[in-house]
Amino acid sequence: MRDAGQIGTPLTAAATRVMLLGAGELGKEVAIELQRLGVQVIAVDRYGDAPAMQVAHRGCVVDMLDAAALRGVIAAEQPHIIVPELEAIATEVLAEAEAAGVRVTPTARAVQLTMDRQGIRQLATNLGIPTSQYRFAGSVEELHEGVAEIGLPCVVKPLMSSSGKGQTMLRALDDVAAAWKHAQVEGRGNSGVDAAATEVIVEEFVDFDYEITLLTVRSVSGTVFCPPIGHVQVDGDYRESWMPAEMSQQALAAAQDIARAATAALVTEVASTDSTTEAGGWGVFGVELFVKGDDVLFNEVSPRPHDTGMVTMIGQDVSEFGMHARAILGLPVPEPNPVGGPGQEFSASCAVLATGSGIPVFEGVDVASTAPTTQVRLFGKPRVDGTRRVGVTLARGASIDEARTLARQAADALRVRLV
């Protein structure tokens, strides 16, 4: 890996090459930020013409769960930095690449731990970080036992998944078998109920007041935090977010302490240190937390920009994607500054969904863009089959309610036709 602060010229022998493993809407924004810094970007995903491929120097279609195929594309492209942007990756290949001198963001170990709910919960427990009660289960029978210990209602999730895939809110014992089957079919890398069974986690349902994402940025400068982001999820998938979320100073301080400890432990062998490792340990982490009064519980952490953090594209001077790009390149990352003058102190985002099968065509973009403090971002996803997030609206306002209303109105003005 070349020295931090040195960036070559793209498409030459001196290029600084960054490979994105995952080329969706979040990867697209990271690619744009890297392009602005003169980095050569290689975007990899399982399907062609993915959003980040449309703005990268090169796009590669690879099943990233196929270890041999993933090794092949890394060998062919010779990246200096690998940036995992999703969960469906053969993580052993990342460890091999890191051992060979390629920087994996933040580290291969961090990626492996955060893709495994068992690993991340045990890490939190070892650190003394408060979490909801949980049990692991490797069979339907063990799941019944775990539910009996945790109590109803509870949440059943695959150990490896994202965006709510395979998740069930369990309210009756009669539904345990169905929850087990759903987790097996939808878990990361599973090929169906006939595949070898994988463990699930059953979690206590927390009666929280609200939940937040605390974007935590580790860089050569140290650790900084974005303002807390409130959000709404449906079936575990993001629908709306806003910043700054209203919370007490005591709760915010507790949230920052938890996020600092969890992210430091992910990238260092000694959890008490805030230093970076030789392999980097840098980048944006999306730390999800439950808040009840002044009490904060750890939920999950992702070692990459977070979908709820798309609101930072309108709410602060450097978005989470710009901060991520700077951090992974070894550049300083200062604390972000809010944007917007009086009457625009709060920001919000609203996801735009499409349901059906076909190529998205957007109508009403002009109406959605009418309000001066509103923006529309269309991801460029090549096709929809089922329900898929295809865009996001962003807005600023004098209050959280006003910003959310403006973002929703813009989203409602968009009509997605599938052709």
Report the C-alpha gap between 188 and 194 in whole angstroms. 15
DSSP code at position 161: -
Q: What number of other Cβ atoms are within 10 A of residue 221's Cβ?
A: 15
Q: Among 16, 162, 216, 219, which one carries the catalytic annotation?
A: 162
Report the C-alpha gap between 159 and 116 in whole angstroms. 5
Q: How many CA atoms lie within 13 A of 417 on its CB side?
A: 6
Q: Among 389, 397, 402, 404, which one carries the catalytic annotation?
A: 389
Q: Point out which residues pair with 97 in neighbouring strands.
A: none
Q: Among 307, 320, 345, 402, which one carries the catalytic annotation?
A: 307
Residue 394 structure tokens: 């962003």
Report the C-alpha gap between 416 and 376 in whole angstroms. 13
Q: Among 29, 288, 345, 402, which one carries the catalytic annotation?
A: 288
**In the block, residue with structure tokens 């890398």:** 189
Q: Point out which residues pair with 348 in neighbouring strands.
A: 242, 395
CA dihedral 207, 208, 213, 219 (to 10 degrees): -100
Residue 15 structure tokens: 């290029």
Q: Is 293 left (phi over 0), alpha (psi -120 to 50) or beta?
A: left
Question: Among this protein's residues, is 211 annotated catalytic?
Answer: no
Report the C-alpha gap between 113 and 29 in whole angstroms. 25
Cα-based distances in Å from 163 to 166, 300, 302, 403:
9, 12, 11, 24
Question: Among this protein's residues, is 280 annotated catalytic?
Answer: no
400 within 8 A of 246, measured Cβ to Cβ: yes
Q: Among 16, 219, 241, 308, which one carries the catalytic annotation?
A: 308
Question: Among this protein's residues, is 236 annotated catalytic?
Answer: no
Q: Among 72, 119, 164, 364, which one carries the catalytic annotation?
A: 164
Q: How many CA atoms lie within 13 A of 80 on its CB side?
A: 21
Question: Among this protein's residues, is 356 annotated catalytic?
Answer: no
Q: Among 98, 211, 240, 300, which one carries the catalytic annotation?
A: 300
Report the C-alpha gap between 34 and 216 in whole angstroms. 19
Question: Among this protein's residues, is 131 annotated catalytic?
Answer: no
31 within 8 A of 366, measured Cβ to Cβ: no
Report the C-alpha gap between 198 and 184 in whole angstroms. 7
- For residue 403, give every residue at least 6 positions away whose Cβ sits within 8 Å of its Cβ, in sequence order, or none: 242, 346, 347, 348, 395, 396, 397
Query: 349: part of which helix (H) or strand (E)?
Result: strand 346-358
Q: How many CA atoms lie within 13 A of 66 on its CB side?
A: 11
Q: Known catalytic residues?
A: 162, 164, 288, 300, 307-308, 389
